[in-house]
Structure 1
């Protein structure tokens, strides 16, 4: 019986290489290490919940009802920016197909030539000119592509990311071309929320201390003490991170470029992406166009059951070979003719299974480069004629 191969269509995210995890049918894309992301979410939600439960009722009654309203708006904005940064495609570049990778390898070998034994091959780079300055494009041995300018391979996610900034475990994702502005807005809004909660915690303790005393206030509001401690230790790191990225945005520079010293090394190469203007750099990074994803992770593709096809073809070929060996003898044919552009003798002979009424196929003429072969009948006739003449 012939095996029936059933092909089904699957989403591309199910077959994408790399170390990312997908949820909601490929709509959510994150790194596999998400433990620190859950810690970030817990700290933000927990601290704000304590603030809404203990401080907001007292502050809304004694100061202004706008205090909890503004805190809620700020909290929702922080959560939205966190999810937008964590659940989006940071700008992952698709890997080369096998045919494309083979073609690129052939181009590289043809350009480099034969490398003598014992010598290292030259680096695989290409030079492009950006704003009258030469920028080197490096070859990625994992993705089999020449990375675009400012792209880099993330060792944690195992993918090349366009305009790679860094891999942030606090958001559980890479920060790149497509989610950098949301990451910056998240750090900026989180800094404002931390300062806001810390400030009104101090105001709350000071107002209650006037009536009940400082120590009694701390005993009656343990949640406030916990909030002050969390905000105090979080404030320095979050505000410092926001200031650092504000500095990078003003220079139109990434964290990866700053760490490697790409534009501030010994050669003193100028940044070709900077507009020499802080306002223009900020507008390009924060207000530029939203780039679409080139990964197409929710696209459809056919599931190729290569292993099942190979096994079924092997079993069918073995079964057909065994049945052929039982019914009729096997004849071996040469794989290729000994003389180019010439058929093998077996091709010109009629098959055993043909009927006797069927006329045999005409003989093929020999090639022009070789003399005709004399048959045994013509040799015998020639000899008889010669004997009669003698």
Structure 2
């Protein structure tokens, strides 16, 4: 896939630093449908990947109670949003959670992917992915990276922010807060299994291969970042095995239901739709692990029933995750994460 033209290609960008990020930048935070590329490190030339969040606390049903965290960085003497660079062996989701913990001391529940900002820093292109992140615990202690945090209503936070780039991310977060998710489904396609052609037994018993087992392990920190409360799986062993490490980590049972599988979709679509609708109706955050035929079809159906049009191809790579947001039972947001494996 050809690389995007990036602002780092502009003349003089080698002299730009982090605090110059308003000078030459691009925003990719438009729309409630967000997709992370399969190889985000290769999307731009000389990419430096980072991730963070708009940290918030309060009650989204009453926006007057919502405050967001404004981070003061003594090294730059600026007010910004919590973020940091990707470490080896991390997904972008892992980076966001780790950096927030290291910089602020807070534990968070990630929510909607807002998109990414792109700007030149020296000879590289810095690409920062932002989620919304609800603070669930922890305590801030001043440190070398962040010496002060101010919790402010969004309007006041916008005024305090040093950079227009961060103000625009706040604007996008506020827009998402106005239609808060009352249910979120992490829709997972099972990890890679042994090839069907080389498996002589019952296809429902076909196990994960070596890469698939690694994918299932890496899904644990990715899915845990959204704090799921329940786990569902289609019947095939490869689906159940994909979410087994997560179930072990969280101490949750896996509810197996054949209606989440391909066979049910092809033979009893109404029943498959009803099973998924029941999950949405429970509210909170659920994981559903399914197969490659049902996922695109069911998401297309949810799109047609909801307020989020999805006109293009609906991808569902093995080991991928769709983070689907619902309000009043209708699909209002969708974020595609193609892999839980490290991005570098």
Please classify the TM superposition score into its range, dividing by the shorter chain length: under 0.3
TM-score, scaled to structure 1 = 0.19
Structure with bigger strand share is 2
Task: Tell which structure's C-alpha radius of gyration is larger.
Answer: 1
- TM-score for the superposition, normalised by structure 2: 0.21
